[in-house]
Amino acid sequence: MINIIARPTILHYCSLYPAGKSALEEWYYEFKLQTFSNFNELKLVYRNASIIGGNRVIFNIKGNDFRLIININFATQSAYVLWFGTHAEYDKVDAKTVKFKR
């Protein structure tokens, strides 16, 4: 199982984006039950995920209404959320460098 570090981050984004809350929570509960050895295994389960440098993965949430950027460490089976927002907001950030801000 993957340890998604800092559940409060998920809750923070759920409160900021009520329209995406159910879909984000669904991703969270589904993703934490997974085990992946590498990006190829992740892509077999999440075909629409985009893999970018620095161990970052982008997921489409709620169809394509929202985007989620995580950092994943396959060796430790851990991940943390870097950014979540609407598709329009995503177009304004650099997915390779964006950092979590509270």
For 32-86, where are the alpha helices, taking DSSP H only? 39-45
Residue with tokens 């949430």: 61
Q: Is the pLDDT of residue 54 over 90?
A: no
* Rounded distance between C-alpha atoms, residue 47 and residue 26, angstroms: 17
Full domain range(s) for residue 35: 3-90
* Rounded distance between C-alpha atoms, residue 95 and residue 58, angstroms: 8
Question: How crowded is residue 98: how many other Cβ atoms within 10 Å of its Cβ?
Answer: 15
Whether 82 is covered by a domain: the verdict is yes
Whether 13 is covered by a domain: the verdict is yes
pTM of the model: 0.94
Length of the chain as a residue count: 102
Q: Is the pLDDT of residue 101 over 80?
A: no
Whether 54 is covered by a domain: the verdict is yes
Q: What is the pLDDT of residues 65-93, one digit of tens each?
A: 999 999 999 999 999 999 999 999 999 99
Number of domains in the chain: 1
What is the chain's Cα-based Rg?
Answer: 12
Q: Is the pLDDT of residue 6 over 90?
A: no
pLDDT at residue 94 in the model: 96
Whether 25 is covered by a domain: the verdict is yes
Residue 81 sits in a domain whose CATH number is 3.30.2310
DSSP, collapsed to helix, strand or coil, labels residue 95 as coil
